Structure 1
Amino acid sequence: MEWRDEGIILGTRRHGETSAIVEVMTREHGRHMGMVRGGRSRRMQPLLQPGNHVDVTWWARLDEHMGSFTIEPLEFAAARLIETPVALYGIQLAASHLRLLPERDPHRGLYETLRLIIEHFDDPLASGELVLRFEVMMLEELGFGLDLKKCAATGVKEDLIYVSPKSGRAVCRDAGAPWADKLLLLPGFVNNTAVRASSYDDIDHAFTMTGYFLMRHVWEPRAVTPPDARGGFLNALGRAINVSQAS
């Protein structure tokens, strides 16, 4: 069994004296594990850092075996990512989310969004938007997609500013007004790619919304806690946005 693909390094752990078990999010083959012989060598360690874009060949005698990787560099992004807390926490958060998915289950949309996230960590608002969209996509891929295109009560597609915590459906301003204190806020950028987040408050409200549904549908049923990297990312993002908007 053998295939070749491109991927993003998610994590590495030692295996024996000289090898490493490497976790890669691939474009066509999903999140995949493999052994890299000599992965702990001085030459290979910089290549196997989280966030690097790589060319990966996997082979095994049987498909159900973990198998081995041969990995070559396409882009060394890790050195740039460790320079800022936003990027460092961001790649850790993305990896934590991807580990909620079954191994070897293809998710090309998530892979492409991860590539975009890595490219935009130098723009705090943009990276916040992209990671938020990544969480919305995660809910969809896990079977708990949100319906944010029209109002659950009236069917209108304009002025959608709330989300029902019960149904995960959008609610427009007029229909939601009587129950505003019981609804989650829906910032405009979440369901309209033509709209940009204007402040950290926009980002924070959006992550509160996705965090609610991740907790309800994913973390609590699996008896796991939200990843520490999520809080770290949001705190770092808030600081970075405040600095960029003050300058």
Structure 2
Amino acid sequence: MLEWTDEAIVLTARPHGESGAIVSLLTELHGRHSGFVRGGQGRQLRPVLQPGNAVSATWSARLSEHMGNLSLESTAAHAARYLDDRARLAALASSAAVCDRALPDREPHPASYHGLLALIEALAGAHWAEAYVQWEVMLLKDLGYGLDLETCAAGGSNDQLAYVSPRTGRAVSRSAGEPYADRLLPLPRFLIGRGRSAPDDIAMGLRLTAHFLALHVFYPQNSDLPAARKRLTDALAPRSA
């Protein structure tokens, strides 16, 4: 019998059989890992299995290739903190869904695990929407698709970075990019440490990271961005006066 115990964050839980659930976790040492939870549809475990909650997980199986069984103990009920905040709850659900679809199965990604924990804590702060965009930039980097937002790809002044190439993920200065602005992605200032954001900046940041997540992660899987990610975009869309 194989067995390990690890700290984890709940990503998804779907019903299986009469009372069980297949649960996907992001663990600190074992990466994204799934298993069967007995009684996962029951009243006691349903609140524990909400996306974003922290748990102590023990996985066991007869063979390594088996899905195995999970026993879970709640360590932090993060989802309950945001039940009355639609936008923050959407960010929590989106981050869990993106991790579940983007990270490879059973491959350790400690940077993504600790990054997700940091994002969950940042949701309690005033600038949580910025933190969410920055978290997706970090996730892209951890997956090997980091953006270069420090220097101008076209040789222009780095003090006026204003765009990102949708093909290379490299920043472009305002002077070099203006003739091609309709083909470039706007670069929100907060991603390069130039002030706080307005709602338009958050929308630009979400558009930027969505493009590269789709290009490098979801389109190669013949899939689209998770529905939870689209709901977050809608929740944070600028409201017209």
* TM-score after normalising by structure 1: 0.85
Name the CA distance, whole Å, in 1 between partners of 2:142 and 2:216.
Answer: 12
Q: Report the equivalent of 1:154.
A: 155
Identity of aligned residues (%): 45
1:229 CA displacement: 2.0
1:169 CA displacement: 0.7
Q: Report the equivalent of 2:223.
A: 224
Question: Which of 100, 103, 128 is the equivalent residue of 1:101?
Answer: 103
Q: 1:1-247, aligned counterparts within 5 Å?
A: 1-98=2-99, 99-123=101-125, 126-154=127-155, 157-192=158-193, 195-238=194-237
Identify unmatched segments of 5+ residues in structure 2.
none
3-state SS, counterpart of residue 12 of structure 2: strand
Q: Which moved more, 1:3-12 or 1:153-162?
A: 153-162
1:123 CA displacement: 4.0
3-state SS, counterpart of residue 221 of structure 1: helix
Name the CA distance, whole Å, in 2 between partners of 1:62 and 1:94.
Answer: 31
In structure 2, relative to structure 1, the CA distance for the partners of 1:228 and 1:15 (3 Å cut) is closer
In structure 2, relative to structure 1, the CA distance for the partners of 1:238 and 1:119 (3 Å cut) is farther
RMSD value, Cα: 2.3
Name the CA distance, whole Å, in 1 between partners of 2:131 and 2:32.
Answer: 20
Name the CA distance, whole Å, in 1 between partners of 2:200 and 2:132.
Answer: 15
Aligned residues: 238
Structure 1 letter corresponding to 2:203: D
Q: Report the equivalent of 1:245.
A: none
Deviation by residue 1:136-164 (Cα, 9 ceiling, x = unmatched)? 23333333322112111227543322111
Deviation by residue 1:77-121 (Cα, 9 ceiling, x = unmatched)? 222233221123222211221122211112222222221222233
3-state SS, counterpart of residue 87 of structure 1: helix
Structure 2 letter corresponding to 1:221: P
3-state SS, counterpart of residue 158 of structure 1: helix
Structure 1 letter corresponding to 2:221: R
Structure 1 letter corresponding to 2:187: L
In structure 2, relative to structure 1, the CA distance for the partners of 1:191 and 1:105 (3 Å cut) is farther
Name the CA distance, whole Å, in 2 between partners of 1:162 and 1:149.
Answer: 11
Name the CA distance, whole Å, in 2 between partners of 1:74 and 1:188.
Answer: 36
In structure 2, relative to structure 1, the CA distance for the partners of 1:207 and 1:61 (3 Å cut) is same
- Whether the 8 Å contact between 1:8 and 1:52 is mirrored in structure 2 is yes
1:231 CA displacement: 2.7
- Whether the 8 Å contact between 2:10 and 2:96 is mirrored in structure 1 is no
Structure 1 letter corresponding to 2:145: F
Deviation by residue 1:32-71 (Cα, 9 ceiling, x = unmatched)? 1112223233222222222211111112222111111121
- Whether the 8 Å contact between 1:85 and 1:233 is mirrored in structure 2 is no
